[in-house]
Every structure is written in structure tokens, then in C-alpha cells.
Amino acid sequence: MDLPQQRALLALALHAAFADGDKDDRERDAIRRIADSLGQASGAPELASIYQDVLLGRLPMAEAAAALTEPGPRRLAYEMAVGVCDADGVQTPAEQAFLRALKAALQLGGADTAEVEREAEALAALPLAPAAPTSAPAVAPQGLPKRPEAEIDATILRYAILNGALELLPQSWASVTIIPLQMKLVYRIGQDWGHELDRGHVKEFLAAAGVGLSSQYLEQFGRKLIGGLLGKVGGGLGRSLGGAATGVAFSFASTYALGQLAKRYYAGGRQMNTAVLQQTFQSLLGPARQLQSQYLPQIEQQARTIDAGKIMDMVRGA
């Protein structure tokens, strides 16, 4: 995929991120930082300038869509936009209107987008609760978790390895499942300490920790696009492991750090304020990135054995 196509795809991703008109300053700052960091990659388009062009209206959605003249990139652009819009929950009316306009601009019909839209709706409605109800008491006795902490740590590591593996898959929709898995992990850890959470509580926890959902998916998509991983088939995984190392470290480390942060937060009775949550999360990211190299063989093996056609089933059963 050449630079003009990359530029158009990333511009449409930014349009999708801003489609609801409700991004606060933290999310806008996160998106800007992502544009700056991705733009430093070798051979990448100048994302900082794309960010400014989109934000200031110099690169309209229709103009970016018109730059994609082939069916494959057009479908990928729509798929990516749906992922960005759905990253932080069910689509708002503004996001729905944007996606309708984008579909028309990309000249896509219902048959081109039906599967993507079905998967998006399924993910947005996916319950956080595990499939099998637990018989444990609603409140953990004497402030102790319902499960041994070693078992909780093993769960955190399993989710981190799984999300690192999803980063290596060539399907862009593999990245969409990383955020629901992180939310399910936080939900499970909250339950371990007797806290019954809904999706809104988990989203607030992630936001307080400084993890923007739309910006996180945008970064995952951008790394895959610039690294040339999107669309690879067959032996593409083996050829792309080196180039995808940064993305793997990002998804593994963010998942592992979120799990450890959730342990501290819910074990302490949810007493951390936003500043402490963000500071603690940042302090956990460094050790998590170092740990990633230790588990890279397991991450690569997981990526080779995941059935991409059953990712949704895998997320439901996580």
C-alpha cells in the first residue's frame, strides 16, 4: 500500500475518531501524540500534518475517500472507521451519520459492509460477565479476593499474551477485540474483590487511567497499517513479526499494566483518584514492556494458533 493510500486511510481514521464531536481534551491530546509517534516511523506519512489537516477541515472526509480507488482499501477504510467509532461503545447518532456518509463516499454497498457491521454490533452488545455464573459470595471475605492472587496474576498474563497475539494477526478486526478483552479483564478483577461493575464503570476506570478507547484502537490500526501487516495472508505472520514488535509490546504491556492497576485499585476499595491512577499506570507500563520480551515466544505461538474466523467466539469465552 503506497503512501497516498496510507495517508487517506489514516485521515479517515482520524475523521472517525472525531465523528461524535464529544472527544475531550485528554482524548484529543492522546490522538495527537499517536499521530506524532506514528509519524516518526520509517517510511510513514507525516501524521502530525494529517492530524492538523483533519482537525482544521483542510482534508475533508470525501476528499480522503476519493483517494482510495480500489475495492480492498475502500473496504478496509470502512472497517477501520467502524472499529474506531465502536471502540468506546455503541455508536452515537453522529457516528452513525458519519459512517453512512463514509459508506456512500467509498461507494460501498450493503453486501460489502454487512459482515463488518454485524461483528461491530455483536461486540458492542457483548456482556462483560463470564458465560458461567459464579457461585462465590457477592463480597469477598475480609477484603480478600475470591481467587488466590496467583490465579489472578495468571489471568492477567493470559489476557496480555492473547492481546499481544491479536496484534500480530493481519486482520484489522483482530485489533477491535483487544479493547473488549481489556474491559472483561478489569471486570473480572473487580469481581474478585466483590465489586459488581457495568460497562460504564469499566470505561470510567480506563479513562481515569489515561487509556482512551478510540485513541487506543487508532494506534493499533496505525501501527498495523504502517508496518505493512494489514491484509497479509499465508506466510505473512512470520515475515511481519519484526516489524510488529512495537505493536505487540504496546498491547501486551497496556493489558498487563491495566490488570495490575485494577488489582491495586479494587483491592484498595477504589480509593485512588485520577492523578494517582494515571501515575500508577505509567509506572507499571515500563516493567510490563520488559516482561513482554520474556513471553514473546508464547505470544507468537498464540498468534499462529488463533483461528481468525473464530475471534468473536474467543472473546465471548474469555
Report the 3 state secondary structure along 10-59. Answer: HHHHHHHHCCCCCCCHHHHHHHHHHHHHHCCCCCCCCHHHHHHHHHCCCC
Q: What pLDDT score was predicted for residue 25?
A: 62
CA 91 vs CA 100, 207, 211, 317: distances in Å: 12, 18, 19, 24
Q: Whose CA is closest to 175, among 126, 223, 121?
A: 223
If you average pLDDT over residues 272-298, what whole number do you get?
92
Tell me the angle at which helices 199-208 and 213-226 cross, rounded to the nearest 10 degrees: 70
Q: What pLDDT score was predicted for residue 74?
A: 92
If you average pLDDT over residues 147-161, what whole number do you get?
95
85 band by pLDDT with thresholds 50, 70 and 90: confident
If you average pLDDT over residues 99-113, what whole number do you get?
91
Q: What pLDDT score was predicted for residue 27?
A: 61
Q: What pLDDT score was predicted for residue 238?
A: 45
Of residues 315 and 58, more confidence is placed in 58
- Sketch the domain layout of the chain as residue ranges: 3-123, 129-317
Q: Whose CA is closest to 303, among 241, 222, 253?
A: 241
Q: What pLDDT score was predicted for residue 66?
A: 96
Which of 81-95, 121-135, 269-283, 298-312 is predicted least confidently? 121-135
The alpha-carbon radius of gyration of the chain (Å, integer) is: 19
Q: What is the dihedral of CA 257, 263, 269, 275, to 10 degrees?
A: -10
Q: How many CB atoms lie within 10 A of CB 300?
A: 18
The sign of the torsion formed by the CA atoms of 25, 166, 87, 252 equals negative
> What's this model's pTM, rounded to 2 decimal places?
0.79
Q: What pLDDT score was predicted for residue 29?
A: 66
Mean pLDDT of the chain: 80
Determine the Cα–Cα distance for residues 21 and 94; give it in Å rounded to an integer. Answer: 8
Q: What pLDDT score was predicted for residue 191?
A: 92
Of residues 25 and 278, more confidence is placed in 278
- Among 104-113, 148-157, 174-183, 193-202, name the most confident range: 148-157
Superfamily of domain 3-123: TerB-like (1.10.3680.10)
Q: What pLDDT score was predicted for residue 166?
A: 87
Q: What pLDDT score was predicted for residue 92?
A: 85
- Which residue do the cell numbers 465471548 mark? 316
Convert the pLDDT of each residue in 173-194 to its tens digit.
677 788 889 999 999 999 999 9
- Hey, what amino acid is at 24? D
Q: What pLDDT score was predicted for residue 174?
A: 72
Under 8 Å CB-to-CB from 4, ≥6 apart: which residues? 67
- 156: exposed, middle or buried (C-beta count within 10 Å: 0-12, 13-18, 19+)? buried
Q: How many CB atoms lie within 10 A of CB 6?
A: 20
- Tell whether the model's pLDDT for residue 241 goes beyond 60: no
- Cα 88–Cα 100–Cα 202 angle in degrees, nearest 5: 10
Of residues 37 and 306, more confidence is placed in 306
Convert the pLDDT of each residue in 288-300 to its tens digit.
999 988 999 999 8
Under 8 Å CB-to-CB from 243, ≥6 apart: which residues? 227, 228, 229
Q: What pLDDT score was predicted for residue 307?
A: 77
